[in-house]
Amino acid sequence: METSVKKNFPVTGLSCASCAISVESMLKAQVGVLDASVNYANSTAWVEYTPQEASLSNFKSAIQSIGYDLLIEEEGHDHQEEMQNVHYKKLKTNTLWATILAFPVVVIAMFLMDIRYANWIMLILATPVIGWFGRSFFINAFNQAKHGKANMDTLVALSTGIAYLFSVFSTLFPEFWHEQGQHAHVYFEASAVVIAFILLGKVLEERAKSNTSSAIKKLIGLQPNTVNLIQENGQEMEIPISQVVIGDKIRVKPGEKIPVDGEIISGSSFIDESTITGESLPVEKEKGGQVFAGTINQKGSFAFVAQKVGGQTILAQIIKMVQQAQGSKPPVQKLVDQIAGIFVPVVMAIAVIAFATWMILGGENAVTQALLAMVSVLVIACPCALGLATPTAIMVGMGKGAENGILIKDAESLELAHKVNAIVLDKTGTITEGKPAVTDIEWNVSGDEKTDLEQILYAIESQSEHPLAEAVTASLKNTSHKRIAPDKFESITGKGVVANYGEHAYLVGNQKLLADYRVNIPKNSSDQIIIWQSEAKTVISFARDKELLAVVAIADKIKEKSAKAITDLQNQGIEVYMLTGDNLHTAKAVAQKVGLKNFKAEVMPSDKADFIKELQNQGKVVAMVGDGINDSHALAQADVSIAMGKGSDIAMDVAKMTIISSDLQLISKSIRLSKLTVNTIHQNLFWAFIYNLIGIPVAAGILFPIWGFMLNPMIAGAAMALSSVSVVSNSLRLKFKKLDY
């Protein structure tokens, strides 16, 4: 079976939402492409393709053929940023000169039309505005037309081009109109000012769009350019970060950023991990502690060995995840894209109808009225406001989430999270710390035999990957151990393990396992088990054949913020459930401590997904929060899946959201962020639709029969530029919203 690859590529030359749709449809038409999505707001294309069939060079050629470019080089981000800076400077220069030249044209048209050669002066001033500083509109429109497509550039090129050519004709051949008893009108000011206004709008839009991606820029800026490599002779040498390989020893001094992920081998320090986890308090790190790229060393100096470099670091994964998420589209955007795809042809049709209507009904000024109506309709129509409404809000929302330690994989989850009315929590690692430790062991055997059995218990638990097994081996690590290898080892999901050694079968697990093998439980052990369970301790038993050898109490500390986080969620009217594989006594004790009414004990991993499905059948929108491999099925079943950042890689791969710091209080913030983002999207779409629904009929002259008002193309151009900027600015307001309830 052919495996697919998902990659993000920077796209250059996008000037409107319709451009993004053109690039997207071109990519989808390429051989080997399974899916593609282009985000106008951050100028990136997300492509899923099969490398065996698809060719990146073909992608690039196809996109270049319609007037854009796809950056497929590894240094795509740096190259894109460099090209964006060049483009932005060029755009500002063109805007400045277009404005300087258009201003006197407006002054002459409004106040000085009686001066000699007024039309010729305006022609000389307007020509470079149209032909040079606004040439990109005409070039892009031509490239689109070659492929039977149209976009915003088509509207601008048609409107300003028609007004300009009409004015040139009137200037060169005024007698044509005089012979018909009409005045030779010119509209140089309309064509020049529209170009200047739209260029100005582009400058403001680009500046605002760059602010929407500030979160990504901050994340990329967290990594230092050089590192202090400790050589074999102990000397330190400064090398570029790109040369660091796994196994290198690196020195980090106070105030320096940690370059890659690794483990401290000497020294200690307090490290500011707020950039990754959102936690404000510095974390103490000693020998054996894990450090992460992008975090900041505060006080001490230490050496660490590199374990993950380049794209493998947690910082790199976060950047990649945020970039992919910002490029994803929620369901509402897919509908908007369909509207934007037919928007330009519909506007062109309305412009033609407006022209024809005024030619028929315009009387003596039919040509003037028809021309003004057509040009104004073409100018005022703005697919960009529609195209920017959703992605800019999503980008700002995703970035704000990342800054608060909330990673969101796709826009659909961000859009859906505010509808969640039921949350299912796994206990271990979600409500609790996920670091179980043995608190008590009660043996039913005497001295010498106990020593031998400890060694067997250690050997069995050493082969298990269960967190509780790790707690048992940790408690026995200081005892002397012979190398014992069980003859047979079987892990029974949700119950424990069975191992054969010599002539006996040894069991390590919960009450279900003991019941299956009909193990006799003495009364003193049974009473002790009940006491421990009432203290929220998990109890596992160690048996040989049908004889109970020992009972072990393991406690997993409840996180400090769990109780408040659960209370906050319940106060919002959200039903919170806890599912655990622990017995009823332990589950009840934990639930009481954190204020939970709804919980289920002795739940098998497969039962978690069934429970979520049951809630969904009741019409609830369910979020699942977990951290382990055994949660992956339930996470996949949930409407919104949330993984705790300190959990397994599989859980984080399946989940659509990740709480980096494993702080449950961030779930409330995630829901608040979703509400704010969705509200912003709705506001943007409302104003974008209202603007076009009102603006296009007014431009077509619908108010002229009532109030004698005909929209000047210059005003239409200013309104069009303002609509895009206002949508982006409204999205940027999200950056300053608080996520606390």
648 has pLDDT over 50? no
pLDDT tens, 326-355? 666 667 766 776 776 688 888 889 999 999
**Alpha carbon 92 to its chain's center:** 30
What span, in angstroms and rounded, lies between the C-alpha atoms of 36 and 730?
A: 28
Q: Tell me the backbone φ, ψ of residue 596, rounded to 5 degrees.
A: -95, 135
**For tokens 């710390």, what's the residue?**
433
What span, in angstroms and rounded, lies between the C-alpha atoms of 509 and 511?
A: 7
Q: Over the chain, what is the mean pLDDT?
A: 84
Three-class secondary structure of residue 293 per DSSP: coil
20 has pLDDT over 70? yes
Q: Give the model's pLDDT for residue 182.
A: 67
Beta bridge partners of 443: 550
What span, in angstroms and rounded, lies between the C-alpha atoms of 366 and 357?
A: 9
Q: Tell me the backbone φ, ψ of residue 45, rounded to 5 degrees.
A: -115, 130
Q: Give the model's pLDDT for residue 660.
A: 81
> What burial class does residue 281 get, using C-beta atoms within 10 Å of its C-beta: 0-12 exposed, 13-18 middle, 19+ buried?
exposed
* pTM of full prediction above 0.85: no
Q: Where in the chain is the domain with CATH 3.40.1110.10?
A: 434-557
Q: What is the mean pLDDT of residues 248-265?
A: 93
Task: List, in sequence order, every beta strand (DSSP E) within 233-298.
Answer: 236-240, 249-252, 261-267, 269-272, 283-285, 290-291, 296-297
pLDDT tens, 676-701? 999 999 999 898 888 888 989 998 98
Q: Where in the chain is the domain with CATH 3.30.70.100?
A: 5-74
Q: Where in the chain is the domain with CATH 2.70.150.10?
A: 245-308
Q: Which of 129-138, 159-168, 335-344, 491-500 has the highest mean pLDDT?
A: 129-138
> What burial class does residue 432 get, using C-beta atoms within 10 Å of its C-beta: 0-12 exposed, 13-18 middle, 19+ buried?
buried
Q: What architecture is domain 245-308?
A: Distorted Sandwich (2.70)
Contact 297, 262 (CB under 8 A): no
Q: What is the mean pLDDT of residues 448-461?
A: 88
Kindly indicate the confidence band of residue 213, based on its pLDDT and cuts at 50, 70 and 90: low
Q: Where in the chain is the domain with CATH 3.40.50.1000?
A: 407-432+558-670
Q: How far apart are the first and last CA of the chain?
A: 48
pLDDT tens, 465-504? 777 888 898 888 777 566 677 788 888 877 889 999 888 9
Position with higher pLDDT, 168 vs 339:
168
Kindly indicate the confidence band of residue 523, based on its pLDDT and cuts at 50, 70 and 90: very high
User: Residue 440 has which token pair?
Assistant: 């008590």
User: Residue 101 has which token pair?
Assistant: 């030249």
Which segment of 211-220, 391-400, 474-483, 578-587 scores lowest on mean pLDDT? 211-220
What span, in angstroms and rounded, lies between the C-alpha atoms of 15 and 20?
A: 8
Q: Give the model's pLDDT for residue 329.
A: 66
What span, in angstroms and rounded, lies between the C-alpha atoms of 309 and 395?
A: 27
Q: To 10 degrees, what angle do helices 56-65 and 17-28 make? A: 140
715 has pLDDT over 60? yes
- Superfamily covering domain 434-557: Calcium-transporting ATPase, cytoplasmic domain N (3.40.1110.10)
pLDDT tens, 585-633? 888 888 999 999 899 988 877 788 899 999 999 999 999 998 755 677 7
649 has pLDDT over 70? no
428 has pLDDT over 50? yes
Q: Give the model's pLDDT for residue 79.
A: 63
> What burial class does residue 265 get, using C-beta atoms within 10 Å of its C-beta: 0-12 exposed, 13-18 middle, 19+ buried?
middle
Length of the chain: 741
Three-class secondary structure of residue 644 per DSSP: strand
- CATH number assigned to the domain with residue range 407-432+558-670, chosen from the 4 options 3.40.50.1000, 3.50.50.60, 3.40.50.1370, 3.40.30.10: 3.40.50.1000
Q: Write out the DSSP string of 144-158.
A: HHHTT---HHHHHHH
- CATH number assigned to the domain with residue range 5-74, chosen from the 4 options 3.20.20.80, 2.30.30.60, 3.30.470.20, 3.30.70.100: 3.30.70.100
Which active-site residues does the annotation give?
426
Q: What is the mean pLDDT of residues 662-670?
A: 90
Position with higher pLDDT, 206 vs 528:
528
Q: What is the mean pLDDT of residues 515-541?
A: 90
User: Residue 342 has which token pair?
Assistant: 């037919």
Question: In the chain, what are the helix, strand and coil shares in percent, each to the nearest 5?
Answer: 55, 20, 25
Q: Give the model's pLDDT for residue 183.
A: 74
